[in-house]
Amino acid sequence: MTSILILNGPNLNLLGTRQPDVYGTTTLSDIEQMCQTAAKALGVTLAFHQENSEGAMVDHIHAARDTHDGIILNAGAYTHTSIALMDAISSVELPVIELHLSNTLAREEFRHKSYISPVALGVICGFGAAGYEHSLRAMVQHLEACS
Ligand code: DQA
């Protein structure tokens, strides 16, 4: 069965209470529930993780090479700083969808730079929590088209 990893970066564990005007009031646990329901309907297996540290995220990406078919990555602030995450993605050669709740291109200039975009299949941003389900559908469609 097709298996997808959704990996969340720093501070996303605080969703629901963190800057709700920017990120909404849905918690990460609500999002996980929503994604698990969507994955079931799409007939895929889903692993869902959140890490605050960059190294732990790199470890998840490495491990995904043998266990998952694609990665949906909301790298949080590491999006704008992490060459390590970019290199990890290039190393595992799995399709990656870059995801953001907010429209990062409509925010501060330092959020316009992404180290993930150049190595990603595509980017979904600005749709709030619903973006997770959109990303899941996009990944499943991509993997089906490749098989
Ligand atoms: C974010 C956008 C990033 O710029 C920010 O640092 C986050 C969340 C988003 O989902 O909108 O932590 O990735």
Residue 147 has pLDDT above 90, yes or no: no
Specify the CATH number of the domain 3-146.
3.40.50.9100
Q: Write out the H or E segment, with its range, that includes residue 6.
A: strand 3-8
Domain residue spans in the chain?
Answer: 3-146
Q: Tell me how far apart the 2 most distant CA atoms of the chain are, in Å.
A: 41
Tens of pLDDT along 26-48?
A: 999 999 999 999 999 999 999 99
Residue of 132, 102, 100 lying closest to 117 (CA atoms): 100
Residue 78 catalytic? no
- Is the separation of the CB atoms in 12 and 50 below 8 Å? yes
Residue of 86, 32, 30, 28 lying closest to 52 (CA atoms): 28
Residue 7 has pLDDT above 90, yes or no: yes
Ligand 1 pocket test, pick from 18, 21, 104 with the greatest ligand atom count within 8 Å of Cβ, gives: 104
